[in-house]
Amino acid sequence: MDGFLDLLTLPAVQRSAIGLLIAAVGLPIVGVFIIGLDIIAVRFAMMHVALLGIAVGLLIGVDPMLCGLLACAIAGAGVAPLAHRPTGLPGAMGLLMTFAIAAALLVLSVSGVNATGAFELLWGSILATRDVDLIILGALTVVVHVLFWRWRRQLALLLFDREIALCSGVAAGPLLLALLVVVAVAIGASIRLTGALLVDALTILPALGARNLGRSLRSMVLWAIALGVTGNSIGFVVALLLDQPPGPVLVLVAGTLTLLTYLIPEGARDAIDPGHRVDRGGDPVPAGQRL
């Protein structure tokens, strides 16, 4: 226990704890978007797209990470027009991944940069979090929250059904574009900041659990954040106590939490939903007249 408290006084450990907490508040929302858009493969796609960007950056001598994120943003925007087909987005992720890796290998071979060096730039570790990483994570979290809370009604309709959204005056095209760019950049940046393994634990896993618990977009987002914060806190503490790398421990903890949500029977959701309010904003029909 003393060892544990000693660890907590280390600046690196403190920074990674703060980083995980910020990530737990922001990234689960990205995960909910990912599940809503049915693009779980986005992480693999963005990994390779970022690598392509890094390779191009190394070739032309511009900051490789910046190029990596730019490549993610462009790729996210690029797949938006495919969204009107039912399989457009999920298919596009696979396509992106193979295209990007092929292009990246070509660029690396042309530039003569060795591939391992480029890959290393892409990889992060939560224990190596720097102050600038915390700022980037914080900024990402703010952007994701603003996007969600400002447009949550429109997003709920869009993720439910694109045509109903269109017929409800939602600017489906621009909103989808914003969503895809934010998701792509957030995933790209998180891989750099936390490592690829942790990205899943921070995004997809809480969102999958929330899908089982929440009954609306809003309640899913709240559940996802709750699961994210719980999983990260427990995982981080356990990793420190056992003196093991946080990545795998966090994934196992988050995975276990997610698995537990599958044990809840469907009908039981009503009782545990934090977003559940029977009387939302004044029912115009007096109770006595209800059938």
| Smallest distance from another protein to CB 92, Å | 17
Among 60, 163, 256, 272, binds another protein (CB under 8 A): 163
CA dist., res. 133 & res. 281, Å (int): 41
| Smallest distance from another protein to CB 87, Å | 12
CA dist., res. 6 & res. 14, Å (int): 11
217 binds another protein (CB under 8 A): yes
CA angle 144, 147, 148 (to 5 degrees): 85
283 binds another protein (CB under 8 A): yes
Which 12-51 positions form the footprint of another protein (CB under 8 A)?
A: 35-36, 38
Residue 91 CB contacts under 8 Å (≥ 6 apart), including other chains = 82
CA dist., res. 260 & res. 249, Å (int): 17
Residue 45 CB contacts under 8 Å (≥ 6 apart), including other chains = 39, 75, 93, 94, 96, 97, 100
Among 63, 120, 131, 161, binds another protein (CB under 8 A): 161
Among 85, 130, 150, 153, binds another protein (CB under 8 A): 153
Which residue shows structure tokens 């699961």?
Answer: 227
Q: Which of these segments, 63-71, 151-159, 176-184, 194-202, binds another protein (CB under 8 A)?
A: 151-159
Q: Which of 191, 209, 192 is closest to 200 using CA atoms?
A: 191
| Smallest distance from another protein to CB 180, Å | 16
| Smallest distance from another protein to CB 249, Å | 31
| Smallest distance from another protein to CB 99, Å | 26
Among 97, 157, 202, 205, binds another protein (CB under 8 A): 157
278 binds another protein (CB under 8 A): yes
Which residue shows structure tokens 């915390």?
Answer: 134
Taking the least distance from each CB to another protein, the nearer of 190 and 219 is 219
| Smallest distance from another protein to CB 189, Å | 25
64 binds another protein (CB under 8 A): no
288 binds another protein (CB under 8 A): no
Among 66, 102, 115, 167, binds another protein (CB under 8 A): 167
Among 111, 125, 216, 261, binds another protein (CB under 8 A): 216
Among 82, 166, 197, 234, binds another protein (CB under 8 A): 166
Binding site for another protein (CB under 8 A): 35-36, 38, 153, 156-157, 159-161, 163-169, 171, 173, 214-217, 220, 276-278, 280-281, 283-285, 289-291
